[in-house]
Structure 1
């Protein structure tokens, strides 16, 4: 089912591309803003819009990924290396799914308390985004490795 591959790759490209955009473009722009309230307002509005899209893309990537996995033969078709790569991709997907569908509020409370200065909060969020982006890019590399050998 070739269409599954197209949907899967497009969902991942837009999803991880969005994460890269937020991490490499939005956060540096926010870092240059002087007004703390404007910074928070811009971030909240931007994140809310992207989060809606990310939820849809994560569901599409997960659903198509599972279907492609079973189309390929499921667990019986995996070598040890493939199992590790597939497991890593699944780990990253579960991480995003958990963040987008519930854990983000708890994480935000951990990273940013009500008395955390805005600058410090954005530095923590920026660092978190870089970590998540690197994990995501490694998952993309894992996917390429699985397909291309």
Structure 2
């Protein structure tokens, strides 16, 4: 087994865990919190639950980015970024950059502080819900695009 195959396996598993986690939070955790907690308590409930997943998400996002970079380098695929037929590669990098920014900058520096001292917990929970839905939609488009694109669909 060569290093490219290992990188691909790491990449696929990392994306599975990362985007699977986003799906679970968006489609199960947030609706469950909405159904089982008064609006004023939802944000703190989310913070407690999500706090267990965030460290794992950071690992998966780092592994996905590192393995993806290795595959682009090792496979000499840099020229694909100049060809729109490989739009899904741009989408992967863009989605990765969004999550890196959220997980490593926005959450620890801004979002968690805001959750703990929110002047509008119901409004912040609604924005959090909307943000997760948007991220899940972008992730879905990216994953479907990458799965199809890597097999010549586009």
Normalising by structure 2, report the TM-score.
0.83
Aligned to 2:77: 74
Following superposition, the deviation at residue 42 of structure 1 comes to 2.8
1:115 aligns to what SS in structure 2? coil
Matched, 1:115 2:124: no
**Could you say what the CA RMSD is over the residues aligned between the two structures, in angstroms?**
2.5
Aligned residues: 148
Matched, 1:98 2:74: no
Matched, 1:146 2:144: no
Aligned to 1:10: 13
CA–CA distance in structure 2, aligned partners of residues 5 and 113 of structure 1: 42
Unpaired segments of 5 or more residues in structure 1? none
- Residue pair 2:40, 2:122 contacting (<8 A) in 1 also: no
138-147 vs 78-87, greater mean Cα deviation? 78-87
CA–CA distance in structure 2, aligned partners of residues 112 and 140 of structure 1: 33
Normalising by structure 1, report the TM-score.
0.86
Matched, 1:87 2:65: no
Seen in structure 2, the aligned counterparts of structure 1 residues 39 and 110 have a Cα distance that, compared at 3 Å, is: closer
